[in-house]
Amino acid sequence: MPIADADVTARLTELGLELPPPPPALAAYVPCVVHEGTAWVAGQIPMIDGEVVSPGLVGAGVEPEDAAAAAARAALQALSVLRGTLGSFDAVARIVQVTVYVAAADGFTAHPLVANGASELLVDVLGDDGRHARAAVGVGSLPLGSCVEVAVTAAVRG
Amino acid sequence: MPIADADVTARLTELGLELPPPPPALAAYVPCVVHEGTAWVAGQIPMIDGEVVSPGLVGAGVEPEDAAAAAARAALQALSVLRGTLGSFDAVARIVQVTVYVAAADGFTAHPLVANGASELLVDVLGDDGRHARAAVGVGSLPLGSCVEVAVTAAVRG
Amino acid sequence: MPIADADVTARLTELGLELPPPPPALAAYVPCVVHEGTAWVAGQIPMIDGEVVSPGLVGAGVEPEDAAAAAARAALQALSVLRGTLGSFDAVARIVQVTVYVAAADGFTAHPLVANGASELLVDVLGDDGRHARAAVGVGSLPLGSCVEVAVTAAVRG
């Protein structure tokens, strides 16, 4: 069954989640590009009320569980961008690819646990159409000191 | 001449390579998503018999040549995932993009040598249709302490 | 209005920019793969006359402004690769996605400033069709000691 905007909206409410307002168009790049069946969402830094969620390095100050929650927030923002750009979740065919960049201390190995925060949110909200191919990697630093950045690619209907 | 499953299988034997069994579907993400002509394979960590191949940092314990061999193993796993998902190499049109993440010590610069392990395996097995655009970058840590992670995107026929 | 080769060429002259010669085909990978409406350009390391531009770590020797200029150079190389592969800018529909890898010191947070070097060049040269979804991340090391690597995906006409 294709993704339906009303179902997704109801599911978000059921999960106690609210889509953050989609970000404004930026100067030199845009939140999302849609071209012939594919939507590329810009890398999301998890923010709440203008503040980065759980900044720092995972494994050196930030707990993996908190980073997973931050990754979930970033994934929620990506959904908000998709809906804002496409006008409705009806236009989303499925999530195809997600890259989760984890700002991690040397020797950190539990990137999958952090990335699951993003992956599980997408599946919780979109069901099977939220399942995606994923890469999770550990980087040394991220914009604004974020502990995680999530880049989402989706297939678009029509 | 398009890629033919029988030819690829013969070529693997000629090279003394065996496709590892494709990984099972995972909880929150999947090994591969196919949508309208493109297949996104999840980032591959090189594994043999349940053990990560050559874990550690390249340039600080892991030799670049060993990391290149690990990258080749990860690329072979990506081929196994593609065949497992599509049912046959006949359905692969070509490899389009590969990102090689190298867990590297500070000051390491020979990422291309490591990444060539993955690139050359794809060309050895698939010929010209294995040639791809590539990005190779040095990261601080990878899942399970792997020295390399390889993410492959392929074009699919039909 | 679609991108026109003559307009882009004139715009480059107006900006005082010259396309570097497109790189030769490499052994195991290629500068660009075009498949059904999408062009994947290999990750670009900024080079001038065979030398890496501003090598080192941003925030530990390399100034963010110099890294932004290096990112702009890498983006210009990506445009050269696109034109060399496609034969003309007429065939470029738009830039869809850009990943900017910044080799950064621990604690660096101004990745967007560096990445803007690439993003602004693409918009300066291609106008609105140069706008793209972007991810900017901080990595520990890059090929040849580069401070930045830029990977570009474009949509192709026809």
Three-class secondary structure assignment of A13-50: HHCCCCCCCCCCCCCCCCCEEEECCEEEECCECCEECC
Chain A and chain B share a number of CB contacts under 8 A equal to 88
Q: In this structure, what token pair is assigned to residue C136?
A: 């900017």
Give me the average pLDDT of each 10-residue run along chain C (158 residues). Answer: 91 93 76 94 95 97 98 97 95 98 96 97 96 97 97 94
Is the pLDDT at B27 greater than 90? The verdict is no
Residue of C96, C125, C152, C156 to mutate, interface with A, max A Cβ within 10 Å: C96
Q: Is B87 exposed, middle or buried (0-12, 13-18, 19+ CB in 10 A)?
A: exposed
Length of chain B: 158
Is the pLDDT at B59 greater than 80? The verdict is yes
> Could you give phi then psi for residue A61, rounded to 5 degrees?
125, -40
Is the pLDDT at A16 greater than 90? The verdict is yes
Is the pLDDT at A147 greater than 80? The verdict is yes
Query: How far is A33 from C73, CA to CA, in rounded Å?
Result: 23
Nearest to C71 by CA among C112, C38, C27, C114: C114
- Mean of pLDDT values over B66-70: 98
Residue in chain B lying closest to C44 (CA) = B135
pTM above 0.90, yes or no: yes
Give the residue with greater pLDDT, B25 vs B49: B49
Nearest to C73 by CA among C30, C121, C105, C39: C121
Cα angle value A15/A16/A18 (rounded, 5°): 110
| Strand C92-103 with C148-156, pairing | antiparallel
Chain C residues whose C-beta sits inside 8 Å of any chain B C-beta: 27-33, 35-36, 38, 40-43, 99, 101, 103, 139-145, 149, 151, 153
Helix (H) or strand (E) holding A156: strand A148-156
- Of all residues in chain B, the percent with pLDDT exceeding 70 is 97
Query: How far is A109 from C44, CA to CA, in rounded Å?
Result: 29
Neighbours of A98 (CB within 10 A): 31
Whole-number average pLDDT of chain B: 94
- Which CATH entry fits the domain spanning C5-22+29-156: 3.40.50.300, 3.30.460.80, 3.40.50.620, 3.30.1330.40? 3.30.1330.40
Nearest to C27 by CA among B12, B93, B123, B75: B123
Q: In this structure, what token pair is assigned to residue B20?
A: 């590892």
What does the H/E/C string look like for A85-109? HHCCHHHEEEEEEEEEEEEECCCCC
Q: Is B73 helix (H, G, I), strand (E, B) or coil?
A: helix
> Could you give phi then psi for residue C51, rounded to 5 degrees?
-115, 140
Place of tokens 């993400």: B29
Alpha-carbon dihedral sign for residues B55, B59, B63, B66 = positive
Cα dist from A13 to A6, A16, C2, C47, C108, whole Å = 11, 5, 42, 51, 37
| Phi-psi region at B54: left, alpha or beta (left = phi > 0; alpha = psi -120 to 50) | left
Query: How far is B72 from B13, CA to CA, in rounded Å?
Result: 16
Residue B26 pLDDT: 65
Q: Which residues of C touch B98 (CB under 8 A)?
A: 29
Split at pLDDT 50, 70, 90, the class of B22 is confident
Q: Which fold, A5-17+44-156?
A: 60s Ribosomal Protein L30; Chain: A; (3.30.1330)
Across the interface, of A32, A36, A140, the residue whose CB is closest to C138 is A140
Query: How far is A96 from A93, CA to CA, in rounded Å?
Result: 9
Distance from CA of A110 to the nearest CA of C (A): 18
Q: In this structure, what token pair is assigned to residue C115?
A: 């990445």
Cα dist from B47 to A14, A135, B3, B135, whole Å = 39, 16, 26, 22
Place of tokens 């599980």: A120
Residue C116 pLDDT: 97
Residue A52 pLDDT: 96
- Mean of pLDDT values over B98-127: 96
> What is the torsion angle, in degrees rounded to the nearest 10, for the CA atoms of residue B152, residue B157, residue C3 and residue C6?
100
Neighbours of A21 (CB within 10 A): 9
The CATH architecture annotation of domain B5-22+30-156 reads 2-Layer Sandwich (3.30)
Alpha-carbon dihedral sign for residues C26, C30, C32, C34 = positive
